[in-house]
Structure 1
């Protein structure tokens, strides 16, 4: 009978530094090369049963073991920990480290050398992470314009940071790289946005030169009874603009949507519905349809 290798309890669930495990007598160097252990980052391993390739939190746990003093998980990785999941399956973990750090580049790490005052760092689940305020400040100035707006909107909508706080924080950091981008994003940010595609749709509308729509507008009938909440709206012209995600295809959502759509139409509202293909693949056509609706209702 083949005896399975014993797995020390302290190494069973979380990534660990191989050198520390060897020094503590929990494993040998040779054991680390066996199938029970998965190398993740230089010198960092995880037990095969605990390893989740697509779990960004697992990669954050591993990356934190390499952080130098004064460093923290930041950027979109910090946003992920604060509840704004905008990272792809194979996204590297963003680490903010002192400018003097010698931490080496790795395909699963995005290393940003930057000033990081102690007040900008806190802990989340035992990990050093940039505060929600510093996280929003960073993603708003590091990312391309549309992605930056999506990330800032997502953090604002989760109420881990407030827009006035973020504006004041940015105002106190003149000279930092990316501030012009951040200021533009803050002027466009909408805390009521409920999804990344809503942010992109709203930006598409604004970039087309159309009036900024109202986010998450409550529609009521002539008697003041609540009909529904629409993603974006022009209440003056009774135009509703909706983003249709995959969840709307589910049977229960489909039935609710049909009833809600009929009620909106009965109340005199024009409802425009768009998909990801409309927003990402045909922005000009989408903007033109909205512009036509506005012209007809003015």
Structure 2
């Protein structure tokens, strides 16, 4: 069967409701039962050429094809659709990442391993449409993540929404005040005071929260280190993740991409340049931030004490 000759364009690339497509005269039941279509959810099909088991957006489209009125994609899946990918690792060797769906309390869906249902009270203003998919608004999505995720993950999510200018501190604060009594309200309110739109990754947010919880001074984010100059605008040396300019301390999170040869060479140059400019650069990995929090805080504390004397 020639795909271009026999497959309607509207059914070629994304999942769709089989019964609706048949009712619209776009396809027949016999065609759907053929080898060129894959049934991925009850009454939801996708063309074999568009099927990717690790494509979260494909599963969001599939889930949306079965949503009852008043339901919406929410939390991590809504964030993904808004361009904030906070999902766990995906792929053949990783666990299935389900689509997160918010349902009205009257809905009674059939359980499915690819969909994680939760009952939520959403107002009409909490739901919008993005490329035809019903999902929670930017502010509602940020609010839900800020109150439902573990604290460090929640701060990373809020920072990401602010960084991408999907929300502002002000409109999120206003929204929080309109939802009294909801679970997790105190967490999202407390974290909002710690958010930083300049934070560029969830691990940077975790590192900053680690320093805050240890009682260390608040660092400056994305600080540009420059050479001394009489004009006040010296030569650019480096931009560092976190900095204490008063003590010339730079704090960097080293992700896996720093292990690549080109990135490694660039890092060597940067850190030599920082040292020549009189800066101390502290570099931490994911293992440090996740599993050696006390040691990280202690190293920063010692560096401050040494440089402040």
- State if a TM-score over 0.5 links the two structures: yes
Determine the structure 2 residue equivalent to 1:256: 266
The question of 1:131 aligning with 2:141 is answered no
The question of 1:153 aligning with 2:153 is answered no
Determine the structure 2 residue equivalent to 1:169: 175
Give the Cα separation in 1 of the matches to 2:72 and 2:42: 18
Give the Cα separation in 2 of the matches to 1:187 and 1:10: 46
Q: May I ask how many residue pairs the two structures share in their alignment? A: 296
- Coordinate RMSD, CA, aligned: 1.9
The question of 1:104 aligning with 2:114 is answered no
Give how far 1:99 is off: 1.8
The question of 1:280 aligning with 2:252 is answered no
Write the deviation string for residues 147-188 of structure 1: whole angstroms up to 9, x where unpaired.
111111111111111112211211222112210121122122
Determine the structure 2 residue equivalent to 1:203: 209
Query: Structure 2: which 5+ runs fail to align?
Result: 91-95
Write the deviation string for residues 217-236 of structure 1: whole angstroms up to 9, x where unpaired.
22222113232211011122
Give how far 1:110 is off: 1.8
SS at match of 2:193: helix
SS at match of 1:60: helix
Do the aligned partners of residues 222 and 4 (structure 1) sit closer, same or farther apart at CA in structure 2, a change above 3 Å counting? closer
The question of 1:61 aligning with 2:66 is answered no
Give how far 1:76 is off: 1.0
Write the deviation string for residues 102-147 of structure 1: whole angstroms up to 9, x where unpaired.
2233211122222212222222112122111111011111111111
Q: Is the 8 A contact 1:163 1:191 kept in 2?
A: no
Determine the structure 2 residue equivalent to 1:214: 220
The question of 1:295 aligning with 2:302 is answered no
Give the Cα separation in 2 of the matches to 1:10 and 1:158: 31
Moved more, 141-150 or 25-34: 25-34
Write the deviation string for residues 197-239 of structure 1: whole angstroms up to 9, x where unpaired.
1111112222223222222122222113232211011122111
Q: Is the 8 A contact 1:241 1:273 kept in 2?
A: yes
Determine the structure 2 residue equivalent to 1:51: 51
TM-score in terms of structure 1 length: 0.92
Runs of 4 or more off by more than 3 Å in structure 1? 3-9, 22-35
Query: Structure 1: which 5+ runs fail to align?
Result: none
SS at match of 1:188: coil
Q: Is the 8 A contact 1:83 1:155 kept in 2?
A: no
